[in-house]
Amino acid sequence: MGSPRPRHLVAGPLLVMALATILGSTMLLPGAGWARPLLVAPGVCSARWLGEPAAPPAYYAIELVSTRRVPGARAASGVGNVSFARSPFGIAVAPTGEYVYNVDLQLQGLNAQSRGVYIAWLTTAALDQVKRLGRLDAAGAIRGQTTWNKFLVLVTLEPDDEARPRWSGPIVTRGMSRSGRMHTMAGHGPFQLQPCTTYGY
Amino acid sequence: MHYVRLLTPRRRAAWALMVLLIVGSGGTAVSQQGEAAKRTPPQEEMSHQQHMMDGMAPTGDALAWRMPPMDSNMPMMPGLEAATPSVNPFIPAHGVDLTDFPVARPGELMDLADGDEIELTASIVRREISGREYLMFGYNGQYPGPLLRAPTGATVTVLFRNEIPMPTTVHWHGLRLDNRFDGVADVTQAPVLTGQTFRYEVYFADAGVFWYHPHVREDIQQDLGLYGNLLAVSADPDYYGPVHREEFLILDDILIDEHGIIPWGEEEPTHSLMGRFGNVMLVNGSTDYSLEVARGAVVRFYLTNVANSRTFNVTFGGAPIKVVASDLGKFEHEEWVTSVPIAPAERYVVEVRFGEPGDVPIENTVQAINHFRGEFYAHVDHLGMVHVADAGAEPDLSAAFATLRENRDVQADIESFRPHFSRSPDYELELSLEVGELPLPIILSMEFERGLYSPPMEWNDTMPMMNWLATGNEIRWILRDRATGHENMDIEWTFQVGDVVKIRIFNDPEPLHPMNHPIHIHGQRYLVLEMDGVPNPNLVWKDTTIVPVASTMDLLVDVTNPGDWMLHCHIAEHLHAGMMLAFRVDG
């Protein structure tokens, strides 16, 4: 104890605030203990058994939640299925070691908009990189791919389908990769007496 | 086994009091090393000063329990500073004079023909790793064991002799040979005791790269060097594309600190949660594998992962890689890849072209997890170096290398199985885990993580304290037949020769510490039809495949070989913690 705090950690709480702003108040609760894990919904991890087609792992599925900010899409909801991209090895891994994931979004409750179109995005947990997946199709679906370890999924209402480096319109739905729930053990479990803010978040 | 009743209020309170006492007395559990390191050199891993482990300071006795090396940025769990596994430490041949044993020599090639008879002896050898000598095991005094190369269709008699101080057998991994010679102790043969012999008839049925290893305490014997490759050579001279040379890379790791090899568990393996990861990487038993090639050379690498638990992600410094084959032969078609993820016991055959002069590193490049910080971090292990000369390779194979071959022979072989692809599974296996009495901080930590995130793959041992303390006494890994509820060796599957059996495997993410499992089936071959509902468009015959956490995988097994066979996880510690079943094939 007592060594200088690593510089890269200084930005930690700021990133958390940014994340909390994006994700709304349901996932990260500032206060004692800072972060509170989401509970796994019952049954989400069930396998596909006899007679049922196999499907992407429910365990890594991303729940897409409405921000309730966009008229005509306040009741929107959806799921982002995360599965390994096709690979001769079964698991798909980048040469730098990250998983290569397909992200399949399927939304419902989106009414057609006269003032824009629904565009899907992926962004890192630090929001420093953004990938435009594109416009949702008529069924509210789109597929993308990522190698980010932790990422957010956003659907925004954009004025048009023009390719932009990042979103400009309001966020319609948002979700976070399962890996994004992982955070420091400081303040939790066997390390509950450690100050978690020392370790970023 | 007494299974834990998790986190009763009373135990929680007792544990919290313990932590208060520890911290209140000036101790701390948390390292401030902070920054996620790209690679922690072994020497930095070896000091535990920052882990506050005065209570278990090493005595200098290599046989004494001491905490295995761990990344310095990982903290010690409070309350575990003096904890040791529930088994006795064990190092074979501990205390004997090194100089009484011969220095092992690098593995040699044995070219064999049908009807040949050879001798294979497992014995104690002297090996040098990173400048220090150790007593290890070797086949025929070599590391790895000799490469046995024979044409497909050949049968070779191997007169095996056991000169190591433990019972052992030889399993011919992936070969569809006579069941009597599969080498599974107490299933197909009695263990070969020290000084005894066994006569194996080894049949090279399929063109492919295979390997041999013990099927008794693999966690120890394999780790100490008992492994070697087998190559079954096709009669078709054009079976693979043209290359300038062939290389066999056997990937391994070993767990060593400044006092020597970290002991294994005597009665049961340690490291039963995640398997025993090493901290020193070995290629063909050496830390300094290197290869000299001419510029433009195309090299066919036969990769075999013999590590107890580590899955490697092998890269060749950005050189183009073509994957051409796996366990029992070629893919339906060749593919470009950028790295080669290879799980324990898997094999891949890749061709690499080294187009530019200079040094090309062979590395294991993964994204590990710092569970304390809740972060991924890049982790790179150096595996070897390819030195590419200025002089150009002759002949020029660039055009052939640039062509991805369609393997009509493989496609034709698989064609008759296609009617089975879309039908429902015949059997379903669930991969699971039961955790017994482990120290409460470990249970708390596992419970905390379970609610957050379990990765699909564990690329290295990022919870070494927890893992080391978990032995076969506390951990039971499970294969569960969903139809009957039977588990592991209580499962009774019976097939007929000629059956085509579809097995669905689901790796349950809900247990306290789920993990990836390389599933191996003895004596048969199978196709991985699909994973997580995505059909596999490029099939290859396999005997081992990795099932990530939360994934569902459909295997189609070509049942051709009568006898009593095993299906098991090839992480040595998981196998010994119960994760195996036997099935019968009637002929």
Which residues does residue B584 pair with via DSSP β-bridges, in sequence order?
A: B494, B564
How far is residue B168's CA from residue A28's CA, in Å, rounded to a whole number?
Answer: 54
For B313, residues 6+ apart whose C-beta sits below 8 A from its C-beta are: A93, A95, A97, B339, B340, B341, B342, B364, B365, B366, B459
Q: Residue A18's pLDDT is what? A: 46
To the nearest whole Å, the CA of B465 is away from the closest chain A CA by: 13
Q: Verify whether the Cβ–Cβ distance A93 to B538 is below 8 Å.
A: no
The count of C-alpha atoms lying within 13 angstroms of the C-alpha of B359, restricted to the half-sphere facing its C-beta, is: 7
Å between A31 CA and nearest CA of chain B:
19
pLDDT band (50, 70, 90) for residue B59: low
Asked if B245 and B299 touch (Cβ cutoff 8 Å), the reply is: yes
Banded model confidence at residue B48, pLDDT cuts 50, 70, 90: low
For testing the chain A interface, which of B312, B313, B364, B502 should be mutated: the one with the most A CBs within 10 Å?
A: B313
* Interacting residues of A189 by C-beta distance below 8 A, sequence separation 6+: B441, B444, B445, B447, B448
Which residues of chain A are within 8 Å of residue B531 when distances are taken between CB atoms? Answer: 54, 84, 90
B333-367 per-position pLDDT tens digit? 999 999 999 999 999 999 999 999 999 999 999 99
Give the distance from residue A27's alpha carbon to the nearest chain B alpha carbon, in angstroms.
12
Report d(CA B565, CA B587) in Å as an integer.
13
The answer to whether A41 faces chain B, any CB pair under 8 Å, is no
Residue in A37, A88, A91 closest to B335 by CB? A88
CB atoms within 10 A of CB A50: 12
pLDDT exceeds cutoff 60 at B574? yes
Residues in chain B: 587
Scanning A89-108 for CB atoms below 8 A from B yields: 89-91, 93-99
- Tens digits of per-residue pLDDT, B389-416? 999 999 999 999 999 999 999 999 999 9
What pLDDT score does B9 carry?
46
Report whether pLDDT(B29) > 80.
no
Hey, are the CB atoms on A90 and B552 less than 8 Å from each other? no
B549 contact residues in A (CB cutoff 8 A): 59
Q: Do A95 and B318 touch (CB under 8 A)?
A: yes
**ω before B151 within 30° of 0 (cis)?**
no
Alpha carbons B447 and B133: distance in angstroms, whole number: 41
Q: Which of B458, B309, B440 is nearest to B370 (CA)?
A: B458
Residue B433 and residue B50 in contact, taking contact as beta carbons nearer than 8 Å: no
For residue B27, the chain A residue with the least C-alpha distance is: A1
CB–CB contacts below 8 A, A to B: 198
Mean pLDDT of B552-580: 98
State which amino acid sits at residue B489: M
Could you tell me if B446 and B512 are in contact, meaning their C-beta atoms sit under 8 angstroms apart? yes
The shortest CB-CB distance from A45 to any of B77, B376, B509 is to B509
Query: pLDDT tens for residues B366-375?
Result: 999 988 888 8
pLDDT digits (tens, 9 = 90+) for B264-323: 999 999 999 999 999 999 999 999 999 999 999 999 999 999 999 999 999 999 999 999
What is residue B448's three-state secondary structure?
helix
DSSP-derived 3-state class of residue B339: coil
Find, in chain A, the residue whose alpha carbon is nearest to that of B528: A90
Closest partner CB to A56 (pick from B339, B442, B532): B532
Tell me what the mean pLDDT of segment B221-244 comes to. Answer: 98
pLDDT of residue B73: 67
A15 in contact with chain B, both atoms CB, cutoff 8 A: no
> At B76, which amino acid appears?
M
- Considering only CB atoms, B313 lies closest to which of A48, A97, A181, namely A97
**What's the pLDDT at B49?**
52
**Can you tell me the mean pLDDT for B469-491?**
97
Cis amide prior to B441 (ω within 30 degrees)? no
Residues of chain B in contact with residue A182, where contact means CB-CB under 8 angstroms, are 369, 371, 374-375, 449, 452-453
Q: Which residues contact B13 (CB under 8 A, 6 or more apart)?
A: none
- pLDDT reading at B258 higher than 60: yes
Any B CB within 8 A of A150 CB: yes
Q: What is the mean pLDDT of residues B562-578?
A: 98
Out of A8, A95, A194, closest to residue B35 by CB: A8
Which residue of chain A is at minimal alpha-carbon distance from B423?
Answer: A51
Q: pTM, whole model, 2 decimals?
A: 0.88
Cα(B30)–Cα(A197) distance, integer angstroms: 13
Indicate left, alpha or beta for A28 from its phi (over 0: left) and psi (-120 to 50: alpha).
beta
Residue of B nearest to A54 (CA): B533
To the nearest whole Å, the CA of A160 is away from the closest chain B CA by: 33
Q: Is A56 on the interface with B (CB under 8 A)?
A: yes
User: What does DSSP say about strands B517-521 and B544-547: parallel, antiparallel, or unpaired?
Assistant: antiparallel
Residue-level pLDDT at B186: 95
Q: Which of B6-20, B157-171, B238-252, B506-520 has the lowest mean pLDDT?
A: B6-20
B104 in Cβ contact with B91 (< 8 Å): no
Q: Which among A39, A53, A191 is the nearest to B533, CB-wise?
A: A53
Chain B partners within 8 Å of A83 (Cβ)? 532-534
Spatial CA neighbour of B112 closest among B152, B155, B149: B149
Alpha-carbon distance B107 to B185, whole Å?
A: 26
Cα distance between residue B163 and residue B176, in whole Å: 27
Q: How far apart are the first and last CA of chain A?
A: 18
- Return the pLDDT at B18: 41
Confidence of residue B572 (pLDDT cuts 50, 70, 90): very high
Do residue B338 and residue A94 have CB atoms under 8 angstroms apart? yes
DSSP A39: P
CB contact under 8 A, A95 and B339: yes
Place of tokens 């003032």: A115
E strands in B131-235? 132-139, 142-143, 147-151, 155-163, 171-173, 197-203, 208-213, 228-233
Report the DSSP pairing between strands B289-295 and B375-392: parallel
Chain A hits for B337, Cβ within 8 Å: 87-89
Q: Quick check: helix, strand or coil at residue A197?
A: helix
Provide the shortest C-alpha distance from residue B300 to chain A (in Å). Answer: 17
pLDDT at B140: 98
Report the alpha-carbon distance of residue A132 to residue A103 in Å, rounded.
12
Per-residue pLDDT reduced to its tens digit, B118-151 = 999 999 999 999 999 999 999 999 999 999 999 9
Angle, helices B440-450 vs B9-24, to 10°: value is 110
Q: What CA–CA distance (Å, rounded) separates A182 from B369?
A: 10
From CA A135, how far away is CA A119, in angstroms rounded?
4
Distance from CA of A94 to the nearest CA of B (A): 7
Q: Is A90 in contact with B441 (Cβ distance < 8 A)?
A: no
Percent of chain A as helix, strand, coil, to the nearest 5: 15, 30, 55
> Residue B428 is nearest to which of A50, A96, A200, comparing CB atoms?
A50
What 3-state DSSP class applies to B459? coil
Instruction: Say whether B553 and A87 touch across the interface (CB within 8 A).
Output: no
**Cα B95 to Cα B55: distance, rounded to the nearest angstrom:** 25
| Calpha distance B494→A186 (Å, rounded) | 51
B444, B447, B448, B452 alpha-carbon torsion, rounded to 10°: 170
Residue A85 touches partner B, C-beta closer than 8 Å? no
Q: From CA A148, how far away is CA B219, in angstroms rounded? A: 34
Cα–Cα dist A91/A18, whole Å? 32
Across the interface, whether the CB atoms of A193 and B19 are under 8 A apart is answered yes
Question: Residue by residue, what is the 3-state secondary structure of B538-554?
Answer: CCCCECEEEECCCCEEE
CB within 8 A of B178, min separation 6: which ones? B201, B203, B563
pLDDT of residue A50: 54
Pick from B19, B75, B456: CB nearest A91:
B456
CB B156 within 8 A of CB B116: yes
Distance from CA of A67 to the nearest CA of B (A): 23
Return left, alpha or beta for B329; rule: phi > 0 is left, psi -120 to 50 is alpha, else beta.
Answer: left
Across the beta sheet with B245-254, the strand order is B280-283, B245-254, B297-305, B347-354, B321-326, B329-337
> If you ran DSSP here, which 8-state letter would residue B17 be given?
H
Interface test with A, best of B32, B35, B454 (most A CBs within 10 A): B32
Kindly tell me if the per-residue pLDDT of B58 is higher than 80.
no
What would the two tokens of residue B374 be? 């809740």
Contacts of B424 in chain A (CB under 8 A): 50-51
Q: CA-based Rg of chain B, rounded to a whole angstrom?
A: 24
Smallest CA–CA distance, residue B257 to chain A, in Å, is 25
Do the chains contact at A185 and B445, CB–CB below 8 Å?
Answer: yes
Cβ distance of B337 and A56 shorter than 8 Å: no
Determine, for residues B457 and A53 on separate chains, whether the beta-carbon distance falls below 8 Å.
Answer: no
Compute the distance between CA of residue B543 and CA of residue B527 in angstroms, rounded to an integer: 9
**Cα dist from B558 to B25, B425, B523, B540, whole Å:** 63, 14, 10, 12
Identify the CA nearest to A201 among candidates A23, A80, A63.
A23
CA distance B125 to B146: 14
Residue A167: its pLDDT value, please? 97
Tens digit of each residue's pLDDT, chain A (201 residues): 333 333 333 334 344 434 444 444 333 222 222 222 222 333 344 454 555 677 889 999 999 999 999 999 999 999 999 999 999 999 999 999 999 999 999 999 999 888 899 999 999 988 999 999 999 999 999 999 999 999 999 999 999 999 999 999 999 999 999 999 988 877 777 777 777 766 655
B514 closest CA partner among B553, B554, B551? B551
Is A52 exposed, middle or buried (CB count within 10 Å of its CB: 0-12, 13-18, 19+)? middle
The arithmetic mean of pLDDT across residues B83-106, rounded, is 94
Q: What is the pLDDT of residues B530-559, one digit of tens each?
A: 999 999 999 999 999 999 999 999 999 999
Helix (H, G, I), strand (E, B) or coil at A14: helix
Q: Rounded to whole angstroms, how far apart are CA atoms B300 and A178?
A: 39
